[in-house]
Amino acid sequence: MSVEAFRVEDGAFALQSLWRRGVKFDGLVCQSDAQAGGVINELVRQGIRIPDEMKITGVDNSPLAESCIVPLTSVSSGMKIAGKTAVEILMRRLAGEAVESIVLPPLLIVRASTGGPPSA
Protein backbone atom coordinates (compact mmCIF):
# COMPACT_ATOMS: atom_id res chain seq x y z
CA MET A 1 0.00 0.00 0.00
CA SER A 2 1.34 3.41 -0.90
CA VAL A 3 1.54 6.40 1.42
CA GLU A 4 -1.21 7.97 -0.67
CA ALA A 5 -3.67 5.43 0.77
CA PHE A 6 -3.64 7.36 4.06
CA ARG A 7 -5.33 10.51 2.67
CA VAL A 8 -8.78 11.85 3.58
CA GLU A 9 -10.16 11.01 0.14
CA ASP A 10 -8.89 7.44 0.46
CA GLY A 11 -11.07 6.93 3.53
CA ALA A 12 -14.17 8.07 1.64
CA PHE A 13 -13.21 5.87 -1.33
CA ALA A 14 -12.75 2.80 0.90
CA LEU A 15 -16.13 3.38 2.54
CA GLN A 16 -17.87 3.68 -0.84
CA SER A 17 -16.10 0.51 -2.00
CA LEU A 18 -17.38 -1.44 1.01
CA TRP A 19 -20.92 -0.21 0.36
CA ARG A 20 -20.73 -1.15 -3.35
CA ARG A 21 -19.72 -4.67 -2.37
CA GLY A 22 -22.64 -4.92 0.06
CA VAL A 23 -20.47 -5.34 3.15
CA LYS A 24 -22.54 -4.85 6.32
CA PHE A 25 -20.82 -3.18 9.28
CA ASP A 26 -21.51 -0.70 12.06
CA GLY A 27 -18.00 0.53 12.68
CA LEU A 28 -14.58 1.00 11.11
CA VAL A 29 -11.05 1.18 12.42
CA CYS A 30 -9.12 3.24 9.88
CA GLN A 31 -5.36 3.09 9.29
CA SER A 32 -4.97 6.81 9.89
CA ASP A 33 -6.87 9.77 11.27
CA ALA A 34 -6.92 11.25 7.76
CA GLN A 35 -8.72 8.19 6.38
CA ALA A 36 -11.12 8.28 9.32
CA GLY A 37 -11.82 11.96 8.61
CA GLY A 38 -12.75 11.05 5.03
CA VAL A 39 -15.04 8.30 6.31
CA ILE A 40 -16.71 10.71 8.73
CA ASN A 41 -17.20 13.30 5.98
CA GLU A 42 -18.81 10.72 3.68
CA LEU A 43 -21.05 9.33 6.43
CA VAL A 44 -22.26 12.83 7.30
CA ARG A 45 -22.93 13.53 3.59
CA GLN A 46 -25.01 10.35 3.46
CA GLY A 47 -26.99 11.33 6.57
CA ILE A 48 -25.59 8.49 8.70
CA ARG A 49 -25.43 9.39 12.38
CA ILE A 50 -22.10 8.94 14.12
CA PRO A 51 -21.83 7.13 16.57
CA ASP A 52 -25.48 6.02 16.70
CA GLU A 53 -25.40 4.17 13.38
CA MET A 54 -21.65 3.93 12.75
CA LYS A 55 -18.63 4.15 15.04
CA ILE A 56 -15.26 5.30 13.65
CA THR A 57 -11.75 5.03 15.08
CA GLY A 58 -8.47 6.31 13.67
CA VAL A 59 -4.81 5.81 14.42
CA ASP A 60 -2.32 8.64 14.99
CA ASN A 61 -4.18 10.95 17.37
CA SER A 62 -3.23 13.73 14.99
CA PRO A 63 -4.62 17.27 15.35
CA LEU A 64 -7.22 16.23 12.76
CA ALA A 65 -8.83 13.90 15.33
CA GLU A 66 -10.09 16.79 17.44
CA SER A 67 -11.06 18.99 14.50
CA CYS A 68 -13.27 16.48 12.63
CA ILE A 69 -16.94 17.43 12.36
CA VAL A 70 -17.45 14.54 14.79
CA PRO A 71 -14.38 14.40 17.06
CA LEU A 72 -12.51 11.18 16.29
CA THR A 73 -11.57 8.43 18.72
CA SER A 74 -7.96 7.61 17.95
CA VAL A 75 -5.07 5.47 19.14
CA SER A 76 -1.82 7.24 19.88
CA SER A 77 1.36 5.26 19.47
CA GLY A 78 3.20 7.86 21.53
CA MET A 79 5.86 8.55 18.92
CA LYS A 80 7.36 11.48 20.87
CA ILE A 81 7.71 9.40 24.02
CA ALA A 82 9.03 6.44 22.02
CA GLY A 83 11.63 8.62 20.30
CA LYS A 84 12.75 10.20 23.56
CA THR A 85 12.95 6.81 25.26
CA ALA A 86 14.90 5.32 22.35
CA VAL A 87 17.48 8.11 22.53
CA GLU A 88 17.81 7.72 26.30
CA ILE A 89 18.36 3.95 25.94
CA LEU A 90 20.87 4.47 23.13
CA MET A 91 22.81 7.03 25.17
CA ARG A 92 22.95 4.64 28.15
CA ARG A 93 24.12 1.82 25.88
CA LEU A 94 26.81 4.03 24.34
CA ALA A 95 27.94 4.89 27.86
CA GLY A 96 28.49 1.17 28.46
CA GLU A 97 25.44 0.62 30.66
CA ALA A 98 23.30 -2.48 30.36
CA VAL A 99 19.89 -1.81 28.84
CA GLU A 100 16.69 -3.81 28.51
CA SER A 101 13.91 -3.78 25.96
CA ILE A 102 10.81 -1.96 27.06
CA VAL A 103 7.26 -1.88 25.79
CA LEU A 104 5.41 1.41 25.50
CA PRO A 105 1.68 0.72 25.38
CA PRO A 106 -0.55 2.65 22.98
CA LEU A 107 -3.06 5.12 24.37
CA LEU A 108 -6.72 5.16 23.33
CA ILE A 109 -8.22 8.66 23.25
CA VAL A 110 -12.00 8.25 23.26
CA ARG A 111 -14.02 10.96 21.53
CA ALA A 112 -17.51 11.37 20.09
CA SER A 113 -17.02 9.13 17.02
CA THR A 114 -17.39 6.06 19.23
CA GLY A 115 -19.83 7.49 21.75
CA GLY A 116 -17.26 8.99 24.08
CA PRO A 117 -17.12 12.60 25.25
CA PRO A 118 -17.54 15.27 22.54
CA SER A 119 -13.91 16.26 22.99
CA ALA A 120 -10.99 14.82 24.90
More confident of the two residues 1 and 23 = 23
C-alpha distance from residue 93 to each of 17, 64, 84, 90, 114 (Å): 49, 37, 14, 5, 42
Give 17-47 pLDDT, tens digit per residue. 999 999 999 999 999 999 999 999 999 999 9
N-terminal to C-terminal alpha carbon distance within the chain: 31
pLDDT tens, residue by residue, 40-67 = 999 999 999 999 999 999 999 999 999 9
CB count in 10 Å sphere of residue 74: 28
Which of the two residues, 2 and 86, has the higher pLDDT score?
86
Task: Say what the pLDDT of residue 118 is.
Answer: 59
How do residues 85-112 score in pLDDT, each as one tens digit? 999 999 999 999 999 999 999 999 999 9
In whole angstroms, give the CA distance from residue 113 to residue 102.
32
Beta pairing partners, 37: none
